[in-house]
Structure 1
Amino acid sequence: MTELPGFAVLLARLLHHQGQEPAGFAHRAGAGEADVVALLDGAAPDRALLRRLAPALGLDTADLFEIAAVPLPEDLAPAGGMATTSIVSVVRFGKALPADRRAELRAFVAGLPPARATGRIEGLPASAPAPDPRSAGNLLMRMVATRNLGWTGTAKVFHLLTGRYWMSTAYGRIASGEDRPTPDLLVDFATVLGLPAAVPAALLGMPLPPDAPRPDASATDAALLLRGLRRLGVEQLREAEDLARALQPG
Structure 2
Amino acid sequence: MAGFPGFDVLLSRLAERRGLCVDDLSRLSSVPEAALRAVLDGAPPGRSLLRQLAPVFQLEAEDLFVIAGVALPLEMMPLDSLAGTAVARLARHAAQLPQDQRDQLRRLAQSLPQEHRTRPVPDPRPYLQYPPGPGGLLMRLLANRNLGWAAGAQTFLPLTGRYWSAATYGQVGRGRIGLTPDLLADFAIVLGIRVDDLAVLTGVDLPDRTASASEASVDVTGLIWDVRRLTLDQIQQLGDIAKSMR
TM-score bracket for the superposition, by shorter chain length: over 0.9
Q: CA deviation at 1:149?
A: 1.0
Aligned position for 2:101: 101
- Once residues 61 and 37 of structure 1 are traced to their aligned partners in structure 2, the CA distance between those partners, rounded to angstroms, is 20
What amino acid does structure 2 have at the position aligned with 1:176? Answer: R
- Once residues 60 and 18 of structure 1 are traced to their aligned partners in structure 2, the CA distance between those partners, rounded to angstroms, is 17
Aligned position for 2:19: 19
Post-superposition Cα deviations, 1:173-205, rounded to whole Å, max 9, x if no partner, equal 111222221111111111011022111002222
Could you list the structure 1 runs, at least 4 aligned residues long, displaced by more than 6 angstroms after superposition: none
Aligned position for 1:148: 146
Structure 2 residue corresponding to 1:190, chosen from 188, 191, 207: 188
Partner SS state of residue 113, structure 1 = coil
Matched positions, count: 244
Question: 1:30 and 1:107, CA in 2 relative to 1: closer, same or farther beyond 3 A?
Answer: farther
Aligned position for 2:169: 171
Question: 1:192 and 1:120, CA in 2 relative to 1: closer, same or farther beyond 3 A?
Answer: farther
Q: CA deviation at 1:102?
A: 1.4
| 1:239 is aligned to 2:237 | yes
| 1:212 is aligned to 2:210 | yes
Q: CA deviation at 1:212?
A: 2.3
Query: Is the Cα–Cα contact under 8 Å of residues 79 and 118 in structure 1 kept in the other structure?
Result: no
- Once residues 126 and 12 of structure 2 are traced to their aligned partners in structure 1, the CA distance between those partners, rounded to angstroms, is 36
Partner SS state of residue 76, structure 2 = coil
TM-score, with structure 2 as normaliser: 0.92
Question: 1:4 and 1:95, CA in 2 relative to 1: closer, same or farther beyond 3 A?
Answer: same
- Once residues 213 and 2 of structure 1 are traced to their aligned partners in structure 2, the CA distance between those partners, rounded to angstroms, is 32
What amino acid does structure 1 have at the position aligned with 2:68? Answer: A
For structure 1, which segment, 182-191 or 95-104, has the greater mean C-alpha deviation from structure 2 after superposition? 95-104
Q: CA deviation at 1:130?
A: 4.4
- Once residues 227 and 213 of structure 2 are traced to their aligned partners in structure 1, the CA distance between those partners, rounded to angstroms, is 20
- Once residues 177 and 244 of structure 2 are traced to their aligned partners in structure 1, the CA distance between those partners, rounded to angstroms, is 41
- Once residues 48 and 77 of structure 2 are traced to their aligned partners in structure 1, the CA distance between those partners, rounded to angstroms, is 15
- Once residues 85 and 129 of structure 1 are traced to their aligned partners in structure 2, the CA distance between those partners, rounded to angstroms, is 16
- Once residues 80 and 42 of structure 2 are traced to their aligned partners in structure 1, the CA distance between those partners, rounded to angstroms, is 32
- Once residues 128 and 74 of structure 2 are traced to their aligned partners in structure 1, the CA distance between those partners, rounded to angstroms, is 25
Structure 1: gaps (5+ residues) = none
- Once residues 204 and 127 of structure 1 are traced to their aligned partners in structure 2, the CA distance between those partners, rounded to angstroms, is 23
- Once residues 211 and 227 of structure 2 are traced to their aligned partners in structure 1, the CA distance between those partners, rounded to angstroms, is 26
RMSD of aligned alpha carbons: 1.9
- Once residues 110 and 141 of structure 2 are traced to their aligned partners in structure 1, the CA distance between those partners, rounded to angstroms, is 20
Aligned position for 1:8: 8
Aligned position for 2:201: 203
Instruction: Percent identity, please.
Output: 38
Structure 2: gaps (5+ residues) = none
- Once residues 188 and 147 of structure 1 are traced to their aligned partners in structure 2, the CA distance between those partners, rounded to angstroms, is 15
Question: 1:233 and 1:207, CA in 2 relative to 1: closer, same or farther beyond 3 A?
Answer: same
Q: CA deviation at 1:127?
A: 5.5
Q: CA deviation at 1:2?
A: 5.3
Aligned position for 2:121: 119
- Once residues 153 and 127 of structure 2 are traced to their aligned partners in structure 1, the CA distance between those partners, rounded to angstroms, is 16
Partner SS state of residue 128, structure 1 = helix
Query: Is the Cα–Cα contact under 8 Å of residues 3 and 136 in structure 1 kept in the other structure?
Result: no
- Once residues 214 and 231 of structure 1 are traced to their aligned partners in structure 2, the CA distance between those partners, rounded to angstroms, is 28
